[in-house]
Structure 1
Amino acid sequence: MNYSVLLAFIIYIALMIGTGLFFYSKATTVNAYFLGERKIGPYITSISTQAADMSGWLLMGLPGAIYIGGASAAWVVIGVVIGTYVNWVVIAKRLRQYTRVAGNGVTLPSYFRYRFQDEKGWLSIISSAFILVFFLFYTAAGFVAGAKLLGTVFDMNYYNSLACVGIIIVAYIFAGGFLVISWANCFRGILIVFSIAVVAVGVVMNLGGFSEFVRAANDVSPTMFNMFETIDGEAVSVIEIITLLAWGLGYFGQPHILAQFMGIESPSKIKISRRVAMVWTVVTMISVVVVGIAGRVYLKTPLSETTAELVYAEMVSTMFPGFLGGILLCAILAAIMSTTDSQLFVSASTFTYDVYRVFNKKATNEDVLWMGRWAVIILVAMGCSIASDPDRSVLALVEYAWGGFGATFGPVIIFSLFYRRMTAKGALAGIISGGLTVTVWEIASKIFPNVEILSLYEIIPGFLISAILIVVVSRCDEKPTLEVLQKFDAYKYCDI
């Protein structure tokens, strides 16, 4: 065992748990625990949001895909950059303003309930159900990635590694809630962008500079940098390109990302956050592409399709042995935990705030706080159960959950902010149709693998069907009440 690497991991984990304990005394109210009392600064918000976005996919799934497919897999990078930018420009400020005006909701289901005056609570219950189901698959991806990482670095049994990841995450979320997640994710975001950039620059310099890197990569495959052909020279289909670009659509419906927008201290600070977030995203995306391609040149032992997700870890172990390598490997755990803890927390918040509190109307603030903490433990156990199969693909799990959230909530969020005539029934139709379309499309693609159209990313049909039904059902429904319309007309002027 490399004790320098072990020391780096111990220091990192101790910092995370210490941060949770520090914020324990500050998360004493429902608003503080679930949304940090909307007092998170713009720089913390920007980096925390991007760290929560990327997950282990950033340093495992994506570089693995680039390693296998070369630049032809980089269409997803374009989709991610565009989706990130549009989400910050179009959604972030408006959602922060509307959630403040519409009942000061701290979760997406509570925002829907107040936005549409859903007195019966069907919007809250059904949207909560979709959040809990899709997040179980998403968090499972994080547990799989974390278990694979610890198993590789410390030669641990997969199931022991899985248990360690679960215990670490529970330890600090249980204590500090949204505050600890925001601050911890900011630290992790800095670690992630530093680490991936260091490895990208380091491998290019090791290969003799950028021109030598390009030459060596072209020697491996003349189509290495061709976005329209794979490394093997096969043409990339239009459906494949659209599928990869469509990852950008998913941003509008990710509860763990949208929660960060809701928690910023002021709508006026969104512009600062957006600029920082875009710099972070562009630097990390370029670095990941370089690392994935350089892995083909630098690593002496080729990786298979099943081990390609470890290309970053293998390059770190080869180039940076010792304590620095341990820090750079911690970035993978940071990426995994930054998304997994955000997702678990949003799931726990949703269950507690929008399900438990609805059915237990006599629950005190203290009851709600402790139920939120215990919900984290339950959800971690369920996520670990789904992740118990070590052969599960991190990228495949993320792809399904990302598409599910994007189609289920993306159109509803967009229309709720821009469509004055939208009604509760229209929102409900959009949520149900988007979520079910993604699930049915995914199942159908497995049953009929030779039907080409079913290889299209399920977020696309789900998003379109949801958007259409939102408009059709809302137009057929009674007009929103005067109070709902007045809030819609006024929300864009909110600056608190």
Structure 2
Amino acid sequence: RVYTERVTDARTGGDSDSLTLSSYLENRFNDPSRLLRGISALLIIVFYFFYVASGLVAMAGLFDQVFGLNPVLSVAIGVGIVVLYTVLGGFLAVSLTDVVQAAMMWLALLIVPIMVIVSLGGFGGLTDGVADKSDGLLSVMGGTSLNAETLAWESTDALGWVVIVSGLAWGLGYFGQPHILSRYMGITSVTQIRKAGIVSVSWAVSAMALAVLVGFVGIAYFDTPLADAEQVFPRLVSALTHPLVAGVLLAAILAAVMSTADSQLLVAASALTEDVYKGFIARDADSKVLLWISRVTVIAVALAAAGIALWGNSSVMDLVGYAWAGFGSAFGPVLLLSVFWRRMTWTGALAGMVVGATVAIVWENVAAWLTALGIYDTLPVFLQDFLSVYAMVPAAALSFVAVFALNSLGRVSDVMESDFDRVEHEVRHLRAEAPVG
């Protein structure tokens, strides 16, 4: 947040007041090639195609469950709703509505498990219900999976470390998500960062814990596992509540989709208008022109995401995992090092960004490629397990390696050193004055 304001503008001098991650990267490293700005903007737009698509898939599932609508009409309605208020309201509207939507999501995630636990006879009934399906479901190390064809729980030889490491790796993704970081970049005052961190982390930890609980109560409540596990929340709501109450609780799913999709569309629009059009084509472009380009971008990204949602044949989790790994690996290591490492250069940042994104994309398809070649089944079990690790693990690790390996090809300018010292001094001063809560 401090760097986005204070770092020297790479082209004009003076405080840059960067509006996007791409502009921050160019200014932070005084990038003479301008590759950081261009490639990062391209990655942001491409990965958001898949991320927004995940929300539309979830929305289509909700509309099918509640209204029996076909996927095309469901996605069309979803795109229309999100695009309309994103285009009309902009950043402020998205920020305000996200607060309400986040509250709805949290309350729904709290209420539904409580209702199920009560119907099962308390926590004892919950644990007994889960254990009855399979003893391995309550094991920390896993060893149980659902057979998609028979819908039966089966013991597996999968190593617990694969599941644990892959799950923990999702945490690395937060450091590179543009739609999350933009909230901190755009906060009114730096002194509010600590309070914002407490609120956001508290919400995330509690909401994720409640989401896991929803999964467990679903296993215990339904005699037969659901063919589509991602429908567990609406199925529980429909089974336990009056239609009027169900409508309010199911609206929380819509809130979850909208609160994420609108932020992503805004960031994608900013990447094209600020980093591509204004950055490379017309630096002094009129604000009205930029506004219309931004609006057209929101619509274009939403339509591309709709295509992926309808014809991509992927689950919500698959799409989110793909985009999350892409962003986290491409930007996470680079952004972390950029604020802590004085000697980092633009070549190191570019290498980390490109390698992280490339490995995240390729890793998701390695197992499928090897299977098509008839090689996968001949590999040792430990290698098969390694290839099943979430893409974030190898991609982020190799991103860090690439930064350090190629960092020396660039140089740290006097301006970069001066900026680093100035920002460090200001951050220390602000931390001393920032309120705790």
Q: TM-score over 0.5 for the alignment?
A: yes
Instruction: Quote the Cα distance in structure 2 between the aligned partners of 1:106 and 1:364.
Output: 17
Three-state SS of the structure 2 residue aligned to 1:173 is helix
Q: Which residue of the partner structure matches residue 101 of structure 2?
A: 188
Matched-pair contact (CA < 8 Å) for 1:421–1:475: no
Instruction: Map 1:223-242 onto structure 2 (within 5 A).
Output: 223-228=136-141, 229-230=143-144, 232-237=154-159, 238-242=161-165
2:172 is equivalent to residue 249 of structure 1: yes
2:259 maps to what in 1?
Answer: 338
Q: Which aligned pairs between 1:69-468 and structure 2 lie closer than 5 A?
A: 96-102=1-7, 103-228=16-141, 229-230=143-144, 232-237=154-159, 238-300=161-223, 302-304=225-227, 307-358=228-279, 359-389=281-311, 391-449=313-371, 450=376, 451=379, 452=384, 453-468=386-401
TM-score, with length taken from structure 2: 0.87
Structure 1 residues 443, 390: closer, same or farther in 2, change over 3 A? closer
Greater relative CO (CA pairs within 8 A, separation 6+): 1
Q: State which drifts further: 104-113 or 239-248.
A: 239-248
Query: Residues 67-104 of structure 1, C-alpha deviation per residue, up to 9 Å, x if partnerless?
Result: xxxxxxxxxxxxxxxxxxxxxxxxxxxxx111121211
Q: Are the aligned partners of 1:291 and 1:312 in contact in 2 as well (CA < 8 Å)?
A: yes
- Name the amino acid aligned to 1:277: S
Partner Cα separation in structure 2 for residue 484 and residue 418 of structure 1? 13
* Number of aligned residue pairs: 398
2:405 to 472, 475, 482: 472
Ranges in structure 1 where 5+ consecutive residues have no aligned partner: 1-95
Q: Which runs of 5+ in 2 are unaligned?
A: 8-15, 145-152
Among all aligned residue pairs of Structure 1 and Structure 2, give the percentage whose two residues are the same amino acid. Answer: 37
Q: Deviations over 1:367-419 (max 9, x none)?
A: 11221112101111111111112742111111111111111011110110011
Structure possessing the higher radius of gyration over alpha carbons: 2
Moved more, 423-432 or 346-355: 423-432
Separation in structure 2 between the aligned mates of residue 274 and residue 423 of structure 1, nearest angstrom: 28
Counterparts of 2:225 and 2:156, CA distance in 1: 20
* Matched residue type, 1:463: A
Partner of residue 415, structure 2: 483
Distance 1:404 1:133 in 2: 10
Cα distance in structure 2, aligned partners of 1:424 and 1:171: 38
Structure 2 counterpart of 1:240, which letter?
Answer: V
Of stretches 276-285 and 368-377 in structure 1, the one that deviates more from structure 2 is 276-285
Name the counterpart of 1:32. Answer: none
- Paired letter, 1:468: V
Which range is displaced more, 211-220 or 480-489?
211-220
1:34-56 alpha-carbon deviations (Å, 9 max, x no partner): xxxxxxxxxxxxxxxxxxxxxxx
Deviation of residue 119 (structure 1)?
4.1
Q: TM-score, normalised by structure 1?
A: 0.77
1:91 aligns with none
SS in 2 for 1:387: helix
Cα 1:166–1:491 change in 2 (3 A) is same
How far apart, in 2, do the equivalents of 1:457 and 1:292 lie?
A: 20
Separation in structure 2 between the aligned mates of residue 239 and residue 282 of structure 1, nearest angstrom: 22
- The corresponding residue for 1:18 is none
CA RMSD of aligned residues (A): 1.7
